[in-house]
Copies of this chain bind each other. A is one copy, B any other.
Amino acid sequence: MKLGGNFFEDLGPGQLLRNPVPRTLGEGDRSLYIALTGDRNPRNCSDEFARSLGFERAPLHDLLVFHIVFGRTVGEISLNSPGNLGYADLRFLRPVFPGDTLRAETETLGWRETSKGDTGVVWVRTTGFNQRDEHVLQFYRWVMVNKRDPGTPTVADDAPEMPAEAGRAHLAHLPYPRIARFDASATGGSAFWEDYEPGERLAHPQGMTIEEAEHQMATRLYQHTARVHFNQHQQQASRHGRRIVYGGHIISVAHALSFDGLENVVGMAAWNGGSHTNPTFAGDTLFAWTDVLERIDIGRDDLGALRLRLVAVKNADPSKEALPLKVTGEDGRERYAPNVVLDLDYIALIPKRAVAV
């Protein structure tokens, strides 16, 4: 691992990087995840409920697993990054429990210098493993990375095509135990897979204000070290003048907010894609809504999938005012409205009515 991290010039395609610092997860990580994000899904916090779903005990939150695997890769991929541009084909491949040790490997897939010449985009695929070398997670992402030497052009112009969505084959072989019975009194929800209609918008009535100490603690918990999140001395000279909240924390908070309104989710199966569309800063209050895009039958009689769009906005309450997702600028180009901070296309798992008790 290079001191100060890799720069764009270091990240040409075809490399397989063993990302350092394996990490054993435990009960402390579970509690901190709840304290920092507000997660209330009983699948993640009740051993009793998780056993009723077929697990030995409560798995750790899927997004905690994502953050830990992502955190492994920052030192080599995105320490010198002004921002992560997007995700594709993220698959949750196996539940993770306290005591498991995660590590990551990342392949560089492509790169392209930006027109200004001071940065470039790097495409990578990361795989997370547990201590038995079983795959627990994989995802593609592309990220802006600073050049070490902005004055010297590279010939990097090799942008790979990203998967348009997570493979349907993945959904057909989900590593999810068979649900014998689903007691909705534990979740407080009443909607099952059959009740969600494509086109429906689910409101999430709560809002959550983010503090500096909170996003810093979350990001350090994941051992994610990108300096834009922690170093105010550096950031006060930046365009924003402030530390930027790790985009993954936004995903976690928005997903926790969705517990009110998006009922009976028992796990994430995959992400098709996602973007951090604007930065979030301490003091911002997050709100979220979910659009139901598609109801997917995965060939099980206990469990179905929903393709969802989770949108997070800041400092505006979508239950009180109409908020456009995108706006057209003076240049005629359409872009995300300035208070939209997340647009995530993902697949959630919801029990079918047949297992309701």
Q: Please report A residues at the B interface, Cβ cutoff 8 Å.
A: 1, 3-4, 18-24, 26-32, 34-38, 40, 42, 45-49, 58, 75-76, 98-99, 101, 103, 131, 185-189, 203, 205-209, 211-214, 216-218, 220-221, 223, 225, 227, 230-234, 243, 260-261, 283, 285, 287, 315-317
Contact = CB atoms under 8 A, between A and B. Distances in A.
B187 A220 contact: no
A223 B48 contact: no
B21 A187 contact: yes
Contact of A4 (B18, B76, B260): B260
A259 B191 CA distance: 47
A131 B48 contact: yes
Main secondary structure of the interface of A (DSSP, over half): mixed
Interface centre among A30, A38, A233, by most chain B C-beta atoms within 10 angstroms, is A233
Contact of A22 (B30, B49, B261): B49
Given A3-B205, A209-B216, 9 more contacts: A20-B186, A22-B46, A27-B27, A35-B217, A36-B217, A37-B220, A211-B216, A214-B216, A234-B285
A4 B206 CA distance: 8
Contacts of A23: 42, 45-46
Contact of A217 (B3, B19, B185, B214): B214
Nearest to A230: B208
A207 B231 contact: yes
A42 to B, nearest CB: 5
B216 A232 contact: no
Nearest to A316: B233
The 7 closest A-B pairs by CB, nearest first: A28-B31, A20-B188, A1-B188, A213-B213, A233-B285, A26-B27, A28-B28
Contact of A188 (B58, B75, B205, B287): B75
A272 to B, nearest CB: 26
B35 A221 contact: yes
15 contacts: A3-B203, A18-B185, A21-B42, A22-B42, A29-B31, A34-B220, A35-B218, A38-B220, A47-B131, A209-B231, A209-B243, A213-B214, A213-B217, A231-B285, A233-B287
